[in-house]
Structures are given as C-alpha cells and as structure tokens.
Chain A
Amino acid sequence: MHNSKEFKIPIGPQHPALKEPESFSVALRGEKILGVDIRLGYNHRGIEKACEERSYVQDIYLIERICGICSHAHATAFIQAVEEIAHLAVPERALYIRTLVGELERVHSHLLWLGVAGHEIGFDTLLMYTWRDREIVMDILADLTGNRVNYGINSIGGVRRDISPAQVKDVLKAVDKLEERTKYYIEVATEETTIIKRLSGVGVLAYDDAIKLDAVGPTARASGVARDVRRDDPYAAYDKIQFNVITDTHSDVYGRTVVRVKELMESYGMIREILKKMPEGPIAIKAPPRRIPAGEAISRYEAPRGEDVHYVKSNGTEKPERVKVRAPTLANVQAVKHMLKDRFLADMPIVIAAIDPCFSCTDRSIAIEDGKSRKKNVMTWQELHDYSIKWHRERGFDPAEINRKFHKTMEGK
C-alpha cells in the first residue's frame, strides 16, 4: 500500500460525481484526506455587473435566474432591499403570498436534497420516492405562479398573482399528502440502519467550528447553532407565523438530514397557518415607481440552504448603483474544507452534498466578447479540444505524448 506517500488528486471542474462545475484539489495519504483546496468561479456570469446596467424591474427577473432552485429567495431578498429604499408599504396579502411561495420553495428544495443525498450514498430508491413526491409541490408552484421554477411572483411593491379559494384548497390537499409522505421519510431517516450507519460521524462540524467558520442554514443548525433569519431578522410575514427553529446536535451529515426532514414538517405547518391567516386586500401597490430614490439597504432571507444576503445601493435613477449578492453556499465553503479534513475520500460526495451546495448561486455572474470584431467568444469543438490540450500541457501533462507512448508500446507487442 502507498500509505506513506502523499498524493494530490484533482476532481473537477468537470467530473461525473459533480452536479455543477467546481474543482477540488485533494491531498491524500492512502484513503485519508489531508486537505482540500476548492476552486470556484466556473459559473460566474457577471450578474452583479449586469444589474448595474439594467432597470430595477429587469433586475428582478435577472436576479431570479441566479439559481434555479432558490430563485424566489434571491428575487425576494433583492426586492425587499429595493422596497426598503423606496419606503414602499407592501400590502399584507402580498407579504403572505411571498411567504407562502418561499415555504413551498423550501419544501421542493429539501425534498430535492433528500433525493440527492440518497443517491450519493447509493440509496437510489429514496431518490425515486422523494423526487416523485416533489412533483406534487412543483405542480402547486406551477399552478400558483405559472412556472415550475423561476416563479416570477414578485413585483416591486407586491406580487404579480393572487391566490384563489380553489387554489387554497389544492395547496392544503397537497400539503396533507406531502406531510404523510414526509412522516415516512422521517421514519426512514431515523430508523433505517443503513442511513444511520452511513451518515453518522461523517462530515463532522462541531458547534464552535460552525460559529467560527460562519456556517449558515441547515449546515449550521445541525451543529446546534440556532441561526435562522426567519426568526432572527423577520421579513415578509414571518413575524406573524408560528414555527420552531429546528436544530440538532449530531453535527454530522446525519444531523443535517434530520434537520431538513424536520424542517419540512415545520414548513407544512407554516403553509397551513399562512393560508388561514392570509388577509383579504390588494396584492400590490398602485403604480410602483420606476426611479428609486438614492439610498441603500441590506436584506437577508433564509433560503433553503441558509442565509442569503442582498445589498442594494440606489442613485435616484432607474438603475441601481450597486447590487451585491452573497448566496448561502459561499458562506458554507470553508466549513466543507474543515469537514473533509482527515476523513476518507469515499465520504467526499456525501459531505459536499450535505451542505446542499449551489455553486451557480455562489458564483453569480461574464461572457467574454471580442471588443473589436464584436464576435462572441464561442469556441468550435476543435478549438475547445486544442484549448484543453494546451491547458493540460502548460500544467505538465501532455495527452498527445501519452498517446504516442501508448501506441509505441502496443506496436512493440
């Protein structure tokens, strides 16, 4: 065995085990991880810069496309900041509808995560089950907002669509069904020996480390850190809704699973309460302003993955001066490095999956175009192939050379 020798393995940016492009440089001794360097930025699309060049209304839709999973989280966080600067009094009913869509989004995201986690540990039945059930909430979201993803429900000063009594009934029916299914998942997560044994003690993040490394969301809460923006800095209608901040003290991947399935149950309760308490009235202010007075605001939102932070600075025009987005995964990256240290390589996929990473959110924002010829920098297949050969050659690995050696050996035989 090569136990005494240290190896460095590159994983990514393109790798079958990764759902999104990111690159890990893993230092290994035997099967043990000595340290991990994470290179992000492959999904950087220049959204913050693009926001400065567009109007507030356009920005809502652009920002919503930062992420396909917690799109409502980003759009709401942004719009809250804009509304705060403009001193807009958003109607109560609109706040309730935002909260409702937010919780439905959390349900779909957590169910999606549960499936991915199952898949990463080879428990694909769980993936099939949860993703089938996730369709229930996706259908509800499509019915309420018109879209399965990127709901576009927010508008400056309110929401775009009202919710009818018939829809309320549909949502309640769907929630009953989902609750019944989630109870089963709680049973699976807490009683199924395979899950407990596979996830316990894996990816440990102690309470002190979670605080020190600024972890957020279910990752922090599973280490006993009761951080939840919905309670700490209430927005929309959260100050009027009863809910518990779910924490767990297992501090490992198992704890993160427990937190998420229990949060699903909390969300169902919240959805019912929202529908019961939702006041009648308008869903948006009349004639929302196009120009936003000069000012600044910072808005926080508890996305399914944790605290999402948006900062907006306006200059009195139709376009913002500065928009800053900090998605939850960026806050959890340092925690992942810590979790992987001294663990086994085989634990890597599930440990990374356990923070429910969304690198698309994290990187946000740049298409490069040639300034003079106005030609978009789109590569042909051959150019891409040549580029990759060059890239590897600069780093001391020449595929052509290896090919030659290979053929020589074969011919020799």
Chain B
Amino acid sequence: MSAEESIKKELTEAFDFIGEDKINIQRPGRIFIEVGQENFAKVFDYAVRQLKFSHLCTITGFDEKERLAFMYHLTQGPGPMLNIKTSVPKEKPVIKSVTPYFPGADCYERELEDLFGATVEGLMPGFRYPLPDNWPKGQHPLLKDWKQDTSEQKKG
C-alpha cells in the first residue's frame, strides 16, 4: 500500500464523518481532504499528532461566494502532502489559530485576517500583516468583489 493510501485508510478509520469520497489522492504525493468547520480541529490534531505531519507549508484562503475557505498544506518532510480544507460562513468568518501547533503560522494567519477579513482566534498580539497601518477598515483585497477601480483591466 502506498503512503498516500495508508494515510487515507487511517483517516477514514479514525473518523466516521470522513468517507472514502471525501479524500482525493490527486497524484502521488498530493492528498486533498475537505472537512466541515465543526470537525476541523479534530482532524488537524490527528494529522499533526498521530500522522506526524510536522511541517505546515502555508495556509491558502479562498473567497467562495457565501463562504470563506481555508486550506492548510501539511507535510511530513519526505512523503506526501496533506491538504486539509475547511470553510466558514462569511457573516461569521471565525477560525481558531493553529499557532499552538505551529508558531510559524503566525504570519499566514495574519494574512488571512488582512486579505480575506477572517477573524483568527488565539493569535498573539502583534503587528498586522501585510497591509499598511492606515489601510481603510473593511477592505480586504483578495475578496472577489474587491476591485481596484482604476486597474488597467477594467479600462479594457
């Protein structure tokens, strides 16, 4: 059994709510999984503590119309990459910080706050990143409806 298959098996056996269809092995070395926000903490904890995913590459944010989605890219060093995706409604875009597991995730999470307007609970006090201090409130550039009014594209 390949490393990807055995990780898939372990995850489906550990959690009832993860069906075979929820895990996608896109190619050798790339595993994608989507979980609801209510189960995310459990799955993330299991991946880090039990499956020994010791390196968080980064967190990618998405604007998916009514929801904000987040994908956590984890690796074990050599071996496959596990990409766990979860989402929250835009009205209440609150997620828990993963800095207790990965202190290095600090910048990645601040980026989600600035560029997507997410609220990350449990972040240590510190500077915002990456937007300027005087950036207008409520403006989150990576949201799909945020446009630079005078961008060349819009002019045609």
Q: Mark A202-225, 1 if CB is under 8 A from B, else 0.
A: 000000000111110000000000
In angstroms, how far is the closest chain B Cβ from the Cβ of A102? Answer: 19
The residue on B at minimum CB distance from A213 is B104
User: Given A213-B103, A233-B29, A297-B26, are A326 and B62 neighbors across the interface (CB < 8 Å)?
Assistant: no
In angstroms, how far is the closest chain A Cβ from the Cβ of B137? Answer: 15
Chain A residues contacting B105 (CB-CB under 8 Å) are 214
A331 on interface, CB distance cutoff 8 Å:
yes
Instruction: State whether A324 touches B60 (Cβ < 8 A).
Output: yes
Chain A residues contacting B21 (CB-CB under 8 Å) are none
Near A by CB (< 8 A), chain B positions 42-73 give: 54-58, 60-62, 71, 73
B107 on interface, CB distance cutoff 8 Å:
yes
Chain A residues contacting B73 (CB-CB under 8 Å) are 298, 309, 311
A333 on interface, CB distance cutoff 8 Å:
yes
A interface residues, how many (CB within 8 angstroms): 47
The residue on B at minimum CB distance from A323 is B60
- At the interface with chain B, which of A36-44, A165-173, A262-270? A36-44
Q: Mark A313-351, 1 if CB is under 8 A from B, else 0.
A: 100000000101010001101110000000000000000
In angstroms, how far is the closest chain A Cβ from the Cβ of B40? Answer: 18
Separation of A297 and B146 alpha carbons in the complex (Å): 24
Instruction: State whether B150 touches A331 (Cβ < 8 A).
Output: no
Chain B residues contacting A322 (CB-CB under 8 Å) are 60, 62
Instruction: State whether A335 touches B104 (Cβ < 8 A).
Output: yes
- At the interface with chain A, which of B4-12, B86-94, B127-135? B127-135
The residue on A at minimum CB distance from B134 is A391
B75 on interface, CB distance cutoff 8 Å:
yes
A227 on interface, CB distance cutoff 8 Å:
yes
Near A by CB (< 8 A), chain B positions 110-156 give: 115, 126-132, 141-142, 146, 148-151, 153
Separation of A38 and B128 alpha carbons in the complex (Å): 10
Chain B residues contacting A37 (CB-CB under 8 Å) are 126-127
Near B by CB (< 8 A), chain A positions 127-142 give: none
A374 on interface, CB distance cutoff 8 Å:
yes
- The winner among B29, B71, B104 for most chain A CB atoms within 10 A is B104
A162 on interface, CB distance cutoff 8 Å:
no
Contact of B78 among A49, A231, A311 (CB under 8 A): A231
Instruction: State whether A374 touches B54 (Cβ < 8 A).
Output: no
Q: Is the interface of A mostly helix, strand, loop or mixed?
A: mixed
Separation of A367 and B26 alpha carbons in the complex (Å): 37
Chain A residues contacting B32 (CB-CB under 8 Å) are 296
Chain B residues contacting A364 (CB-CB under 8 Å) are 130
Separation of A40 and B79 alpha carbons in the complex (Å): 32
A300 on interface, CB distance cutoff 8 Å:
yes
Separation of A365 and B54 alpha carbons in the complex (Å): 28
Instruction: State whether A41 touches B106 (Cβ < 8 A).
Output: no
Instruction: State whether B75 touches A334 (Cβ < 8 A).
Output: no
Instruction: State whether A333 touches B58 (Cβ < 8 A).
Output: no
Chain A residues contacting B30 (CB-CB under 8 Å) are 297-298
- The winner among A296, A313, A367 for most chain B CB atoms within 10 A is A296
B77 on interface, CB distance cutoff 8 Å:
yes
User: Given A232-B79, A298-B83, are A53 and B26 neighbors across the interface (CB < 8 Å)?
Assistant: no
Separation of A334 and B102 alpha carbons in the complex (Å): 10
Chain B residues contacting A233 (CB-CB under 8 Å) are 29, 75, 78, 81
Chain A residues contacting B27 (CB-CB under 8 Å) are 84
Instruction: State whether B104 touches A334 (Cβ < 8 A).
Output: yes
A46 on interface, CB distance cutoff 8 Å:
yes
Instruction: State whether A366 touches B141 (Cβ < 8 A).
Output: yes
The residue on B at minimum CB distance from A325 is B58
In angstroms, how far is the closest chain A Cβ from the Cβ of B88? Answer: 17
Chain B: residues with CB nearer than 8 A to chain A? Answer: 26-27, 29-30, 32, 54-58, 60-62, 71, 73, 75, 77-79, 81, 83, 102-108, 115, 126-132, 141-142, 146, 148-151, 153
Q: List 12 A-B contacts (CB under 8 A).
A: A39-B127, A41-B129, A44-B131, A46-B141, A49-B141, A211-B55, A297-B26, A297-B30, A298-B30, A300-B81, A313-B62, A335-B104
Chain A: residues with CB nearer than 8 A to chain B? Answer: 37-41, 44, 46, 48-49, 53-54, 84, 211-215, 226-227, 231-233, 296-298, 300, 307, 309, 311, 313, 322, 324, 326, 330-331, 333-335, 363-367, 369-371, 374
Q: Which 10 A-B pairs have the closest CB atoms?
A: A41-B130, A214-B104, A371-B149, A326-B58, A39-B127, A44-B130, A324-B60, A232-B78, A369-B150, A334-B104
